[in-house]
Amino acid sequence: MTTELVKPVTPPRSHRGRGTAYIVLASAAFGSSGPLAKPAMQAGLTPEQVATGRVGLAAAVLLVGVVLIKPAVLRVRRDQWRLLVAYGLVGVAAVQVLFFVAVSRLPVGIAMLLEYTSPILVALWVRFVRHVRLPALSWAGTVLALAGLAMVAQVWEGLRLDAIGLLAGIGAALCSATYYLLGERGASEHHPIGMVTWGMVIGALGVFVVAPPWTLPAAVLTAPAEFGPWQPPVWVLLIVVALVSTALAYSLSITSLRYLPSTVASVLALTEPIVATVLAWLALGETLSPVQIAGMAILLSGAALVQLATRGPVTPAEPMPGDPVG
């Protein structure tokens, strides 16, 4: 559809506690995606099929909800579609598929930590491609985060992690960084909810090319999945991932930015990998070595320093209120 530009809504100043609650809940919702999706893959679904179920259902929920509640935010000019298509295919479809490939072959916490190197990649892009000088604290955070990643991967032991899973996690980080950079450009032209909705719809169409929804095996969907002491059907896990880990998570994240600066919200969102690791420990029995746990803390600390040191448009979450991952 082609019509006039819908300008983003300027968030009002309000209570920080409410915004903090929203972003922490959003991070918990995002963080549940790996622990919920991994049993579905262990039951027989491929990572591509899990991405199809997650993105497809979430796109349907968001599109129907926005059409019923606020259809005006879906208006897009013809010249804006190219950015939205790239945003949906790379920032939604590719990042989801690669993330689930990583989750299928790596512990959930490590897969999420790999994806969370994206703020560092964005900072490097801004410095060396855009030639924007960054604060010294930003570089300190980058070095610290990379050191933490090396500890998580235990590179001194010959990278015992699955090579394909490691590459998929790095690919997910690259796509996530692209998501932020495209979002930085698009957020000034689109209403954030409209952009997230179109991105999810386009991403779903992209994932459907790889794994059409009609190819999802009915026998696997109805089979029980091993989720801690419970054995829910696989289709139940897919619905929860789509509704809680995707549609609800995006909505909470966007709402939080009505009460918090994006720099604060993006740092609080770094609790997502910790939530994922704890859930994987509780529900899936995954464990990490003490060195890897220390590496997690160091990586998150470094990423937080990068975010805190960055101001203005180079902050990944600054232009993109949808702030997703996992």
Q: Which of 80-84, 233-237, 266-270 has the highest mean pLDDT?
A: 233-237
Q: What angle do CA 151, 324, 197 make, to 5 degrees?
A: 160
Q: Is the pTM of this model over 0.85?
A: no
Q: Give me the pLDDT at residue 258, please.
A: 62
Q: Give me the pLDDT at residue 66, please.
A: 92
Which one is predicted more confidently, 178 or 190? 178
Query: Which whole number is the average pLDDT over 82-88?
Result: 90
Strand (E) or helix (H) holding 81: helix 81-86
The pLDDT mean for the chain works out to 77
Backbone angles phi, psi at 224, to 5 degrees: -75, 145
Structure-block tokens of residue 234: 């696989």
How does pLDDT run across 10-42, given as a tens digit for each residue? 444 446 677 778 877 887 888 888 788 888 988
How does pLDDT run across 200-222, given as a tens digit for each residue? 999 999 999 989 999 999 999 99
Residues 6+ apart with CB under 8 A from 294: 151
Strand (E) or helix (H) holding 142: helix 136-153
Residues 6+ apart with CB under 8 A from 297: 148
